[in-house]
Chain A
């Protein structure tokens, strides 16, 4: 562990509960490097998480931290940001949080465009409960609730968020750790709601049921299947089959929610607001 870990982690809460070979530690390291680059004070950062393996990240990081209910991290974070816009608010969710139980909050957060950075740990499985398939598990994969393979189709979270109107959407993997840091920084600096999907690996509850013998095999799979945005347009369609694009997928300016509401307050207080 380096000085950066000692600066941003609650060292007395380690070791963490994540399994050997888990990708969550890589994401956490990438995140604290992003905070270091951004130069944010620890006191001005609020980190909010949901339930599951990813939800435990808030306990290990030395910020204002809130470990909420399953799928609801985004709405707690929305209340924090509205009430204290000076805080830099980050949300950590698993694929269960973001795509299943909290899917409604995800699409509405994209629509509202409040200045929060949401990081989705997509390991394609419910890890904490022992390996049940999630809305992002690919078809024909094995899980404890799919002992004969899944018949459910999966969500593409990036396209879901773009479709819901998100102003910043990016994706990377736990293999591309440096890129993760860059995307977290870019997401934080983006004025509005930023979603960063991290394709990560769960060797214990996904890998071993789906022909990945080691965590390294899963990282290799990420490396082989990720195509950078710059290259994606040049790769023939048929070669993109089964692969996914990483990098910034959308970045556009849209009115930010808190600023819009503050403007409304100003207009109302001046007595200028039009009322029906």
Chain B
């Protein structure tokens, strides 16, 4: 460590994934995530991994899930329209509890939108994009350094909790190149899914103490059945209401059960702040700059930055926002995360949305003007 590199956000994701043991990528070209596919195509064969360019994004996520069934760590990357196409199979991975990681480098939508412009309008889709109640983890890095580390963390979470994990980037973060100085805490350690225990009767969807059933990889001698139909602990379909209720509560609840490990926020000067900005992704870079500038002017401004977006870090944000004069939530959308902030704070502190939907980044100037006008 102590290593210094010039890294692009998209590039950093690839190296974070490789460090976590990813050996399979399937994807389809789309702006602004394409560099991720390009770099995987170059790097994977060097280490005996496999890269596939599929016929569409539905095929890409399908191949990723298939590869994961054999125990290989697998990932895909896409942007807006491709992320929409992947939703059904993301639901399959959530329901069948197959580890996989999806990187969505957000671009401006809806539809083809502004393909080369940034957006944060997939905040809600990343959580609720597929039909039915389902578990998912969403992580939003804000620097190239964090893109490396958090992609590694995403791979490990997917393996540990048998859940699809989404890395939510945006066009700016994906394409910017910056100096990255790796430190001790950036080391990505490999985590592997839990397998069946010798001498213990094996059920592929057992309600274990930690609520995470062990996974028997295809070809390992267990001959499991995996289905997107609601299934009992044996893996076979059931519509017994009592069992359906139990398995749905376990499958969804397994994330809440481990929320302390999964949720992560980062704060800047929040303790004595009167006004707190809540921002994620590249907008959080502007917000950090605002804190620096306004502190130098003697204004008490702070920043709360959710790194884990879903599950939304309710407790952490509620605690950090306590007793503040106002909360500002700048987002490159018409107001999505702000709803979560309002829900979390429950009317204790006034919450102000600040939105841009012209395809441009919210600048430090935008936020400073907003604060000054508010005062």
Say what secondary structure dominates the interface of chain B: mixed
Q: Give the chain A neighbours of B42 by CB distance below 8 A.
A: 275
Whether A66 sits at the interface, judged by CB under 8 Å, is yes
Whether A79 sits at the interface, judged by CB under 8 Å, is yes
B66's contact among A13, A83, A268, by CB below 8 Å, is which? A83
Whether B72 sits at the interface, judged by CB under 8 Å, is yes
Within 8 A of A (CB), among B142-201: none
Say what secondary structure dominates the interface of chain A: helix
A80's contact among B54, B59, B66, by CB below 8 Å, is which? B66
Contact (Cβ within 8 A) A67 B226: yes
Within 8 A of B (CB), among A178-195: none
Contact (Cβ within 8 A) B24 A76: no
Whether B70 sits at the interface, judged by CB under 8 Å, is yes
Contact (Cβ within 8 A) A264 B218: no
Whether B347 sits at the interface, judged by CB under 8 Å, is no
Query: Which of B59, B71, B237 lies at the interface centre, i.e. has the most chain A CB atoms within 10 A of its CB?
Result: B59
Who on chain A is nearest to B227 by CB? A67
Interface size counted on chain B using CB atoms at 8 A = 41
A76's contact among B46, B63, B223, B225, by CB below 8 Å, is which? B63
Contact (Cβ within 8 A) A80 B67: yes
Whether A44 sits at the interface, judged by CB under 8 Å, is yes
Within 8 A of A (CB), among B66-86: 66-72, 74
Whether A128 sits at the interface, judged by CB under 8 Å, is no
Chain A 2-39 per-residue mask, 1 if CB under 8 angstroms from chain B, else 0: 00000000100100000000000000000000000000
Contact (Cβ within 8 A) B24 A79: yes
Contact (Cβ within 8 A) B59 A67: no
Chain A 89-127 per-residue mask, 1 if CB under 8 angstroms from chain B, else 0: 000000000000000110010000000000000000000
A13 to chain B, nearest CB (A): 7
Contact (Cβ within 8 A) B69 A66: yes
Query: Which of A46, A76, A78 lies at the interface centre, i.e. has the most chain B CB atoms within 10 A of its CB?
Result: A76
Contact (Cβ within 8 A) B52 A84: no
Contact (Cβ within 8 A) A75 B229: no
Contact (Cβ within 8 A) A44 B219: yes
A57 to chain B, nearest CB (A): 11
B76 to chain A, nearest CB (A): 10
Contact (Cβ within 8 A) B66 A79: yes
Whether B236 sits at the interface, judged by CB under 8 Å, is yes
Q: Give the chain A neighbours of B52 by CB distance below 8 A.
A: 78-79, 82
Contact (Cβ within 8 A) A79 B62: yes
Contact (Cβ within 8 A) A265 B65: no
Contact (Cβ within 8 A) A79 B26: yes
Within 8 A of A (CB), among B34-80: 42, 45-46, 48, 50, 52, 54-56, 58-60, 62-72, 74
Contact (Cβ within 8 A) A83 B54: no
Q: Give the chain A neighbours of B45 by CB distance below 8 A.
A: 261, 264-265, 268-269, 273
Query: Which of A10, A104, A265, A269 lies at the interface centre, i.e. has the most chain B CB atoms within 10 A of its CB?
Result: A265
Whether A154 sits at the interface, judged by CB under 8 Å, is no
Q: Could you tell me the distance between the alpha carbons of A84 and B218 in the complex, rounded to whole angstroms?
A: 9
Contact (Cβ within 8 A) B219 A43: yes
Whether B228 sits at the interface, judged by CB under 8 Å, is yes
Whether A65 sits at the interface, judged by CB under 8 Å, is yes
Q: Give the chain A neighbours of B60 by CB distance below 8 A.
A: 75
Q: Give the chain B neighbours of A83 by CB distance below 8 A.
A: 24, 50, 66-72, 74
Whether A236 sits at the interface, judged by CB under 8 Å, is no
Interface residues of B, Cβ cutoff 8 Å to A: 24, 26, 42, 45-46, 48, 50, 52, 54-56, 58-60, 62-72, 74, 88-89, 92, 218-219, 221, 223-229, 236-237
Q: Which 10 A-B pairs have the closest CB atoms?
A: A79-B66, A75-B62, A79-B63, A83-B67, A76-B66, A67-B227, A79-B67, A84-B70, A83-B72, A75-B59
